[in-house]
Amino acid sequence: MSEGERLTELAKRRGFYFPAAGAYGGAAGFWTYGPQGAALKSNVEDAWRDRFVVREGHQEISAPDVMPEPVFEASGHLDGFDDMIIECAECGATHRADHLVEDNTDIEEAESLPNEEVMDIIADHDIACPSCHASLAGEPVDNFNLMFETNIGPGTSSPGYLRPETAQGIFVEFPQLSEYARNQLPFGVAQIGKAYRNEISPRKSLVRVREFTQAELEHFVDPEEDEPPLSEVEDVILPLYSAESQQADDGGVEHLTVGEAVADGVVTSDWVAYYLGVAKGWYERIGVDMDRFRFRQHLPGELAHYASDCWDAEAEIDGDWIEITGFAYRGDYDLEKHAEHSGEDFTVFKQYDEPVTVERPTVDPDMSYLGPEFGGDAQTVADALEALAERNPEAFDGDEVTVEVDGDSFTVPVAETNFSVEEVTENGEHVRPHVVEPSFGVGRLVYTVLAHAYTEDEVDGEERTYLDLPPEQAPTTVGVFPLMDKDGMADYAREIAGALREAGHSVTYDDSGAIGRRYRRQDEIGTPYCVTVDYESLEEDTVTLRERDSTDQKRVSIDGLAETLERLTEGETTFDAL
């Protein structure tokens, strides 16, 4: 069994995740998180909120999943958020055409090729339908928009879409959010929520799904003035797989500190470098194995047209590298698009320390001259004169001025333009912020953390499976068992479980089956500690405390048990030191 397969088996059996609506055969790409998975996911989200929102001083919002069409006209998703689809004429199955090419030829990144070329390659290689094995040669390759469409209200006059990324819920509200930040840059707005992509071929359990959770931060910065606090992370070592390395025959991952990566120009955006440094420590905290982790730079062909530098955090599972986060410097692309489409102001007014007096050249062309002279072109000429005055006031220094409109030249006496230079006092300027975006896929993080935590060993001659999850992330921090359900042991154990719960621990009480089986059950869901109440407990008020990874056991006092567990889970002491 592959790593992914045995994880999927454990995930279903122990309540981490399983295909949704299985009673009806399910729908590919939709997963339900069971009790353990929902708790783990929630713990990952809390850790993210703690690090990327609270500690960074950002704010969190919650926007709707369904958004009206104009939002996606502006964002570009309506026109450009497509995958290449090919339909089998024989069986009707649909496939991602670029994936077929990648799976059946040596070509990589087929996504960046034109549809016609992909169609030709499929014909040349006589690639067959993976479902029925009929030839796909000659079948058209089309664009398929990945957004789920619906209608808002009765009828079809108001199309709506399930957001394909949580980010748009932040961008579109920038004018309002900027007010909450009192129009002071920089400020960051985060959101944890669902996003939806109608994938043609969902696969790899939680990796390519149709409904998923994103944790996105949009950090709005003044590109002229704001600098990230690089010093806080400059010594963090980053495993970097640069575009250059990827293109070189013998390239590999380089280990550079954040400081070095910036100084050497490997990471070109200081802001991106800052977040790579912050994120590195966070991945370690939630249990990503750093030996199976890298930051990979986007190749030039892969880079979104608006992004100047983009890095993915990738985790290795089953020999594949899976993107778990994208770090992008998006410039002012998003805010500019929404400003253009909505006609609203997506800027921040930056007040100067002191008012500034500037010279502003203006024209006020005499239309009673331009009209008779240029007829239907008069207004266009007037507009061109205005633009020229702003751009190049020196052009008005002579007696005549010439403007070009659609290839034609028009010459006008300067006197008829009423050119003048006014002195204007300005208190500030409108700045369109740039956006730095770390965008995390929560399901993929959960999947990675589980895959990297999955461990098999041998205990007392028997094979054992356990998850070595960090205590902070584990769905349950302590399992409490009575050795047997008699002589008051169960009542005492329930009382201890209640007290530990009161103290803030996540507790499971279990009194069913042999004690060894109960330990295994907790091992498989990654519970770091178990407490067993036995006959000695009744007499001496002590319990057996057992550590997951070593399976070592110690007798500890019930008095102070909650604090002992707290110090253990927070890393303030070790089991050996007890």
Which 487-516 positions form the footprint of a second copy (CB under 8 A)? 501, 512
Which three-class secondary structure state does DSSP give residue 154?
A: coil
Positions 322 through 381 that interact with a second copy (CB under 8 A): 338, 341-342, 344
Which lies closer to a second copy via its Cβ, residue 149 or residue 373? 149
Report in angstroms how near the CB of residue 534 gets to a second copy at its nearest.
Answer: 23
Torsion of CA 105, 110, 113, 119, to 10 degrees: 50
Which lies closer to a second copy via its Cβ, residue 349 or residue 535? 349
Handedness of CA 533, 536, 542, 547 (dihedral sign): negative
Beta carbons of 62 and 193 less than 8 angstroms apart: yes
Q: Find the radius of gyration of the CA atoms of the chain.
A: 31
Applying CB under 8 A, which of residues 11, 39, 121, 478 lies at the interface with a second copy?
39
Which lies closer to a second copy via its Cβ, residue 211 or residue 216? 211
Residue 246 within binding range of a second copy, rule CB under 8 A: no
Which lies closer to a second copy via its Cβ, residue 246 or residue 506? 506
Residue 78 within binding range of a second copy, rule CB under 8 A: no
To the nearest 10 degrees (0 to 180), the angle between helices 270-286 and 35-48 is 140
Report in angstroms how near the CB of residue 2 gets to a second copy at its nearest.
Answer: 23
Burial of 459 (0-12, 13-18, 19+ CB in 10 A): middle
Residue 245, token pair as written in the block: 């390395």
Positions 199 through 238 that interact with a second copy (CB under 8 A): 200, 210-211
Report in angstroms how near the CB of residue 220 gets to a second copy at its nearest.
Answer: 14
Of residues 441, 209, 459, 163, the one with CA closest to residue 324? 441
Residue 4 within binding range of a second copy, rule CB under 8 A: no
Give the total of residues touching a second copy (CB under 8 A).
Answer: 73
Positions 5 through 34 that interact with a second copy (CB under 8 A): 12, 15, 18, 20-34
Distance CA 517, CA 503 (A): 27
The residue written with tokens 């070095």 in the block is: 260
Please enumerate in sequence order all residues whose Cβ is within 8 A of that of 544, keeping only pairs 6 or more positions apart, or say none: 531, 532, 534, 553, 554, 555
Applying CB under 8 A, which of residues 11, 44, 84, 85 lies at the interface with a second copy?
85
Report in angstroms how near the CB of residue 547 gets to a second copy at its nearest.
Answer: 25
Beta carbons of 271 and 186 less than 8 angstroms apart: no
Positions 163 through 202 that interact with a second copy (CB under 8 A): 169, 172-173, 175-177, 180, 182, 189, 194, 196, 198, 200
Applying CB under 8 A, which of residues 56, 111, 149, 302 lies at the interface with a second copy?
149
- The region of 65-73, 356-364, 394-402, 463-471 touching a second copy under the rule CB under 8 A is 65-73
Q: Can you give the length of the chain in residues?
A: 578
Applying CB under 8 A, which of residues 10, 47, 67, 467 lies at the interface with a second copy?
67
Distance CA 50, CA 37 (A): 20
Positions 280 through 299 that interact with a second copy (CB under 8 A): none
